[in-house]
Structure 1
C-alpha cells in the first residue's frame, strides 16, 4: 500500500513550477557529480597537505601608506627599517668584562654572521669593526674599535676593553646600563640578495633557537639569551601554529559529539562533518595552487570554513529529518530539503563571502590574503553544503533513530517553542526593543574607549608570559635605548644635509620631541655635531651648540656614525626612541612630528615620516583606523542589498540587519573594556562576525515569511518558525560558540582574542535572530499586506 504522504511528495516533486532547474541538474546526475567530487577531493587534498606556513615583513605592512612609501624609497640609506633582531647575551653572575663572557660573545657574533638572511654589513656587536670609540686629546681625535688591538683576554686587555666601552657611545644601546649584558644587532634582508627568495621566518627563528639560545644559553649555566625583533616574533607565531592542529582536533570532536546529541543520527552527524572537512581541504588545496601560504593570521580561516560548513549542514540535516519523519524516502527528503534551503542558504553564504571580501579595502597584504582565503572558503562551502551534503544524504538518508528523535523530541519541545514565540507578542515586543535600546546606549558609551593599535608593551600577538615578551621586558628594563624606534627622514638637495639651517631644524625637532610624552630620547647628526664641537673646545659646555661656521660643522661630522648620513648627503634621519609602541604613544608623537613638518619643511629641508618599527606601527594604525568604518559600511551595505534583492522588502532588511548592528556595537564595547585594540589581528573579527551572523537572521526570516504567507498570524507564524528551524539556529550558535571558545587557551594571544570575540558574536547574533528579530517584526511587518501582495502576484 502506498504512502499518501510519499505520493503527495512525488507529485509535488514532478511539478515543473516546484522543481527548480538546479535541483533537476544536481539530483538527476547524482552519481556523476559524486565521482567528480571524489577525484577533485583527492587532487585538492594532495595539494592541501603541501601548503606551508608563510610570513613576510612587507606583507604585514601597508605598502601604499605614505610613511611606508617614504621608508621603502630610502631603504638603502636607513638602518632602522624595523626588520631586525636584537640578541641580548646576559651573564648571570659578574659582569661582561671577563675572558669567558667575551669569548662566548665572539662565538655568538660569528654564528649570527653566518645565518641566512642577516645583512652582514649592518651586523653590530662589541666584536664588529663598526662599533668604535672616539675621544678628543691634546693631539686631536683618537679612536678605534671597542675591542682593543691585541686583545687576548688578559686582565690588562679586559681593562682596556672597559675603558673603550666607557668612551664609546654604546652604553644603554649595545651594552646594558649595569654591564651585565650586551646586544648583537642583526638587520635582516626581506629577500636573499643572491637568490631573491623571501626570508623563511620559521626556519630563521628555529636557527636562532638551536644555534644561539640552546647552544650558548642552555649549555652554559651562567649565560642567558634574550632575542627580540619582528623575525623572532613571527617565528614564535609560526611555532604556535602547531598548537592550532590540537585545537582543530578539539573543535571537530566537540562539534561531532554535539551534532550527534542534536540529531541522534549517525549519518546526520558524520556527513556534515565530512562535508565541512572536504571544504577545508578544497580551500587549502586551491590556495596552494594559487601560490598562497598560510601566514599566522589567515591560518585560522580553515576553522571558520569548517564552522560555516557545520552551520549550514545542520540546516540540511534538520530539514531532511523533518521530511523523513513525514514518511518521505531519502532521495525525496533530500530534494525537499534542498528546495527549501538553496535560496536562503546561497543568500547567507554569498553574504558571508562579501562580508569577508570587504577586508580587501584594507591595504595590508596579510588582511587581503585573509579576505581571499575566507571568501574562497565560503564559495567552496556553497558547493559542498548545497550539493555534496544533500547528494550523500540522498543515498544514506536519516536513520530510524534520527527520525524517532525528531518525532518524539518535536512533541516535547512544543511547550518551549510556544513560550519563546511570545517574543513576537504585542506585549513582549516593546520590552525587547527597550532592552535593545538600553544595550545600544551602553555599547555606544563603552566603545568610546576603543583604541586602534597595540595597548600593551611587547608583542600583543603573544601572551604576556611568553618567552618573547619576557625577553622584550628584559631589554626594556636593562637598556636605556628603546627597541621602539620612529625614524624621521630629513630630505635635502644633494650635498646639503650638513648645512647649518638643516641641523638647526633637526635640533629644534628633537627639542620638541624630548618634551613630548612617550619619547625616551632622540639622536641625529645635530647631536654628533654638538658633541664634537664641545669636545674640540676642551669639553666646555658653552660650546655644546651647532656652530654657524660651516667649516666647523664639516669637521664635527667627519666621523659621524653610519646610518646618520647617506652617501649623497641628501638624507639624514632623526632617530626617536619611544617608551613603547602603544597606540596612544604613537599617535601623540606622530601628530607632533607632522605639525612640526608642516610648519618647518621648505626648499632647504623636508621632514618625512616615517621609518623604524614604530613608524611601521603608526602607518598600520592609520590604515586600520581609516578603513574600519568604510569596511563596516560596505559589509552592512552588501548584506542589506542582498537581503533586499531576495525579500524585496526594506522592512525585512531592517529586521535581519538591526540585530547584527547591535552585536557589532556591543563587540566593540567589549573590546574597549577588555583592553583589546583594533589591529591587524582583531579587525577581521568584526567583518567575520557580521558575515557569519547574518545567516541566523536569513534562515529565521525565510521561514517566518513563508508561514505568514500561508495566512498565519505573526506570533503563530513565529511559533511554526521555531518548530521548523529554531532548534537548528540555536544549536548552530551554541556549537560555533563552543568550537571557538577553546581558542582562549591558545599560546597565541591574538587567537585567544579572536576566539573570545567570535564566541560572543556567534552567540549574540543567534540571540538577536531568535529574540530581537520577532520583536522588530511585530512593529515592522504587516502580515495582511504581505499576504495581499503575494496573492496579487499569483
Structure 2
C-alpha cells in the first residue's frame, strides 16, 4: 500500500511536470536571471585560509598579537645577487625604483640602501640621530659605491639578515605596506598595477633580475592564479564530460541538454555565492567545476532510464512519465547522500569549510531538481530516440565488462575477499607512512616565477613566513628594563641555534645598535649595555624614539611599552617541524620568563596555518564517522536491515583506506587539500551503493526472493548506470589535475582514483557481500518493510496506478 502511495506521488509529480512545461521553464529562467543579478556581490577573499575556529585559543592568541602590533604580513621584499647593483647606472635606477614605490599611498615605509640611515650619537642633545648612510651627490663614483657596500656589510650588523646576506652578497629592500590595506582589494591593485610594472621597468632598463616575495605579494599572485583557473576548470570540465557523454549516448541533442543543465547549475552556483555573501576562496573556486562533474552523472541516470524505457515499449510519453515515477525517490536519495558527503564539512566549525559545505550541498540538490524538470520537458519536445541512440545499451565493450564482473562475483568470491584483504593490509601499511604538512606554499603553483622567488628568499634570507613571539611584561614600560632585554636576548640565542629559523628581529637588536652608535659606530660594541651603561645608553635611545616620524621602536614595542615582539622567519619547507620548533622555543621561554611576571605567546601565520592543518585532520575522523552514521542511518531507514547497513559501508570504506595508503607510499602528505578527498569521495561513491541495493531489493520481489538470481539481474539495470557515472566522475575530477596548484592536482587525482576504486568495489565486492551475508535468508519474511521505499516500482505496479487514474 505504501509503495502504491509513493508511486502515486511521483506519478502526480510527473503529470505536473509534463503538463506545465512552459511555466516550469519560465520559472527556471526567472530563477537563473535572479541569481545572475547576485553575481555583482561576488568577492574574492583577501585573506589566507584560517582553518581554526574563531574562539579557539590559537586564534585568540593571534588576534591578541594583531591588536598590539597590527597586521604582521605587510612586508614585501625585493632582492638581487647581481653585483652590478653597486655600479652608478644600476644604483641610480635602483634609487628611482625605491623612490617611486615609496611615493605610493599604499606604502608605509621603504628600507633600502638608497635611503638607509644609521644611528649616530649627538652628545649635545644626549640622543641618537638617524643620519643617511649614502650621500646621493657621490653615487656617480664607483669608488664611493664600493665604500658604501663595504660599510654596509662590515660595520652595520644590525642590518645583517634584514637587508643583506654577508656570505652570498645578496641585497634586498624591505617595503612595508599600510597595514590597513593588507586584507583589502587595494593590496591587489597596488601589487599588480603599480609594484610589478615598476619592477619590470627596472629589469628592462638595467638587465638585473630581481626577486620579489613577502606575504602580500605571494597572496596576491596566488589569488590571481586561482581566479584564472576557475575558467580553465569550467571549460575543461564541460569539454571532457561532454565528450564522454557523447561517446556513451551518440546523441548530440542529449549531450547538449545535459551541458545546458550543468551550465545553468554553474550560473546558480555563482549566484548562490553572491546571495549568501560568501567570498571565493581556494575551495569555493572549485564549486562551479564540481557542479559540472556531479551534474552530468544525474543527466546520465535520467537519460539512460529514458532510453531503457523507450526500448521496452517504444512509447515516448510513457517512457518520460516512467523516468520520473520509477526513479524519483531513488535518485533523490542518492543525491541526498552526495549532498551529505559535502555537508559533513559544515560540522567542522570552520568558516572556510562550512561555506564550502553549504554551497556544494545546496547546489547538488539544485542540480537534481534541474535534471528532474528539464530532461523530461526537453525530450517531450523532440522526436523519440533512434536506434543509434539506443545502441549504448548493448555495446560489446560494455557487455564484455559486465560479463567479467558477473563471472567474478559468481565463481570467484573467495578471490574477491582475499584481494580485498590484501588491499586493506597494503592500505593500512601505507597509512603509517603518511606525513602531515602545514606548509603554506606547498600547494602553490611551482612553475611560476613567484614560487622560484620564494625559494630564493628561503635560501638567501632563511624564509619569508613569519613566526612571531609576543612577550607581555604585565607592566607599562616593562620592555625597556635591562633584565627584560637580557631575557629576550637569551631566547633569541635559542632561535639562532635552530637552523630552520632566520635571525630574529626585536628591540634587542635596536638596543645593541644603540650601544654601537654610542661608541661611535664600532661594530665590536654591537651588544646589550651593561648595568653601568644602561642609564645613559637607554636614555639616548628613549630620546631618539620621541621622534614620531622615525620611531624605531614602534615595530617591536607597543605604545605602552608593555608588550615586546620578536620576529623570525621560517623556511616553509620545514613546516612539518613546526611542533618541534615551537616546543623548543616554549621550553626556553618557560625557563627564561617566569609565568608570574611574563606571558609569552608564540604565533604568526606560519604557526597558525600549521595548527590549522592539524585541527582539520583531527576533525577528519569525526566528519567521516558522521558521514558513515548518516549514510548508515539512511540505509537503515530505507531497508530496515543491519546487514544492509554493513554491506553499504564496507565497499566504500575500502577505497578510502586504499587511497590513504597510496598517499603514504607516494609521499603525498595530509594537508587541507588532500584531507577533503575522503569526505568528497565517500559522499559520491555511496551513490552507486544505494543504486545497486535499491535495484537488488526490487529484483528480489520480481524473482520470488531468489538471492543469486536477483543479484545478477541487478547488473542488467544498475550496472550500466554505475559504470557510466563512475567513468564520468573519474575523468571529471581528473580535470583538476590541470591546475598549477599542487593541492588542487592532488585533490582531483586522489578523488578520481578513489571513485575508480569505489566503482570496482561497488560492482565486485558489494554484490559478493550481499550474496555471502544473505545466504541464511529463508524468504521474504527476512525483509522488513522499509520506512522509506526507494525501490523502482515494477511495470505492473505503475500500470495499476495509471489505470486507477484513468478509471477511478
TM range (shorter): 0.7 to 0.9
Using the TM superposition, give the Cα deviation of residue 537 of structure 1 relative to its aligned residue in structure 2, in angstroms: 8.0
In the alignment, structure 1 residue 187 sits paired with structure 2 residue 187 = no
Tell me the SS of whatever aligns to 1:582. helix
- Residues 12-411 of structure 1: pairs in structure 2 closer than 5 A: 17=8, 19=10, 21-45=12-36, 47-48=38-39, 50=40, 54-57=44-47, 60=50, 62=52, 63-75=54-66, 77-78=68-69, 81-88=72-79, 90=80, 92=82, 94-115=83-104, 118=106, 120-128=107-115, 131-134=116-119, 144-149=130-135, 151-155=137-141, 158=145, 161-162=148-149, 164-166=151-153, 167-168=155-156, 169-177=158-166, 178-189=168-179, 191=181, 198-199=184-185, 202-208=188-194, 210-217=196-203, 219-240=204-225, 241-396=227-382, 398-402=384-388, 404-405=390-391, 408-409=394-395
Equivalent in the alignment of 2:668 = 676
Using the TM superposition, give the Cα deviation of residue 534 of structure 1 relative to its aligned residue in structure 2, in angstroms: 7.7
Tell me the SS of whatever aligns to 2:209. strand
Distance 1:407 1:485, change over 3 A: closer
Equivalent position to 2:444, from 444, 453, 462: 462
Using the TM superposition, give the Cα deviation of residue 758 of structure 1 relative to its aligned residue in structure 2, in angstroms: 2.0
Using the TM superposition, give the Cα deviation of residue 416 of structure 1 relative to its aligned residue in structure 2, in angstroms: 4.7
Q: Distance in 1 between matches of 2:175 and 2:33?
A: 47
Tell me the SS of whatever aligns to 1:121. strand
Distance 1:262 1:789, change over 3 A: same
Equivalent in the alignment of 1:772 = 765
Q: Distance in 2 between matches of 1:201 and 1:686?
A: 35
Q: Distance in 2 between matches of 1:297 and 1:345?
A: 27
Equivalent in the alignment of 2:470 = 489
Using the TM superposition, give the Cα deviation of residue 188 of structure 1 relative to its aligned residue in structure 2, in angstroms: 4.9
Instruction: Decide whether the 8 Å contact of 2:138 with 2:144 is kept in 1.
Output: yes
Instruction: Decide whether the 8 Å contact of 2:237 with 2:292 is kept in 1.
Output: no
Q: Distance in 2 between matches of 1:25 and 1:295?
A: 39
Instruction: Decide whether the 8 Å contact of 1:525 with 1:557 is kept in 2.
Output: no
Q: Distance in 2 between matches of 1:249 and 1:443?
A: 35
Tell me the SS of whatever aligns to 1:134. strand
* Larger displacement relative to structure 2 (761-770 or 208-217): 208-217
Q: Distance in 2 between matches of 1:774 and 1:609?
A: 54
Q: Distance in 2 between matches of 1:16 and 1:159?
A: 90
Using the TM superposition, give the Cα deviation of residue 110 of structure 1 relative to its aligned residue in structure 2, in angstroms: 3.3
Equivalent in the alignment of 1:475 = 457
Provide Cα deviations, 1:269-326, integer angstroms capped at 9, x if missing partner. 2222221221111121222233234233321111111111111211111111111001
Provide Cα deviations, 1:526-561, integer angstroms capped at 9, x if missing partner. 455566568868979899567456637845864665
Distance 1:604 1:251, change over 3 A: same
Provide Cα deviations, 1:643-694, integer angstroms capped at 9, x if missing partner. 3222222222222222222222222223333333333333323221122222
Using the TM superposition, give the Cα deviation of residue 618 of structure 1 relative to its aligned residue in structure 2, in angstroms: 2.8
Instruction: Decide whether the 8 Å contact of 1:344 with 1:699 is kept in 2.
Output: yes
Q: Distance in 2 between matches of 1:563 and 1:209?
A: 23
Tell me the SS of whatever aligns to 1:572. strand
Equivalent in the alignment of 1:4 = none
Instruction: Decide whether the 8 Å contact of 1:271 with 1:389 is kept in 2.
Output: yes
In the alignment, structure 1 residue 645 sits paired with structure 2 residue 632 = no
Equivalent position to 1:741, from 734, 742, 747: 734
Q: TM-score, normalised by structure 1?
A: 0.87
Q: Distance in 1 between matches of 2:248 and 2:373?
A: 22
Could you list the runs of 5+ residues in structure 2 that have no partner in the other structure?
A: 545-551, 790-808
Distance 1:153 1:419, change over 3 A: closer
Equivalent position to 1:690, from 674, 677, 682: 682
Distance 1:228 1:530, change over 3 A: closer
* Larger displacement relative to structure 2 (736-745 or 435-444): 736-745
Tell me the SS of whatever aligns to 1:227. strand
* Larger displacement relative to structure 2 (304-313 or 380-389): 380-389
Tell me the SS of whatever aligns to 1:220. helix
Q: Distance in 2 between matches of 1:429 and 1:371?
A: 38
Equivalent position to 2:563, from 571, 581, 586: 571
Using the TM superposition, give the Cα deviation of residue 769 of structure 1 relative to its aligned residue in structure 2, in angstroms: 1.1
Distance 1:398 1:587, change over 3 A: farther
Instruction: Decide whether the 8 Å contact of 2:211 with 2:453 is kept in 1.
Output: yes
Provide Cα deviations, 1:188-221, integer angstroms capped at 9, x if missing partner. 53648xxxx922565344225652233222x225
Q: Distance in 2 between matches of 1:407 and 1:681?
A: 38
Q: Distance in 1 between matches of 2:414 and 2:280?
A: 48
Q: Distance in 2 between matches of 1:471 and 1:638?
A: 47
Tell me the SS of whatever aligns to 2:751. helix
Could you list the runs of 5+ residues in structure 1 that have no partner in the other structure?
A: 1-11
RMSD between superposed Cα atoms in Å: 3.5
Instruction: Decide whether the 8 Å contact of 1:360 with 1:367 is kept in 2.
Output: yes
Equivalent in the alignment of 1:604 = 597
Tell me the SS of whatever aligns to 1:747. coil
Q: Distance in 2 between matches of 1:572 and 1:637?
A: 49
Using the TM superposition, give the Cα deviation of residue 35 of structure 1 relative to its aligned residue in structure 2, in angstroms: 2.1
Q: Distance in 2 between matches of 1:271 and 1:367?
A: 32
Provide Cα deviations, 1:501-529, integer angstroms capped at 9, x if missing partner. 43344334334444446334334334555
Equivalent in the alignment of 2:417 = 433
Distance 1:543 1:181, change over 3 A: closer
Distance 1:783 1:214, change over 3 A: farther
Distance 1:653 1:372, change over 3 A: same
Q: Distance in 2 between matches of 1:607 and 1:336?
A: 69
Equivalent in the alignment of 1:8 = none
Distance 1:325 1:214, change over 3 A: same
Equivalent position to 2:651, from 646, 651, 659: 659
Q: Distance in 1 between matches of 2:537 and 2:639?
A: 75
Distance 1:250 1:503, change over 3 A: same
Equivalent position to 1:760, from 745, 753, 756: 753
Instruction: Decide whether the 8 Å contact of 1:708 with 1:783 is kept in 2.
Output: no
Q: Distance in 2 between matches of 1:254 and 1:290?
A: 30
Equivalent in the alignment of 2:549 = none
Tell me the SS of whatever aligns to 2:503. strand
Q: Distance in 2 between matches of 1:593 and 1:271?
A: 61
Using the TM superposition, give the Cα deviation of residue 54 of structure 1 relative to its aligned residue in structure 2, in angstroms: 0.5
Instruction: Decide whether the 8 Å contact of 2:263 with 2:292 is kept in 1.
Output: yes
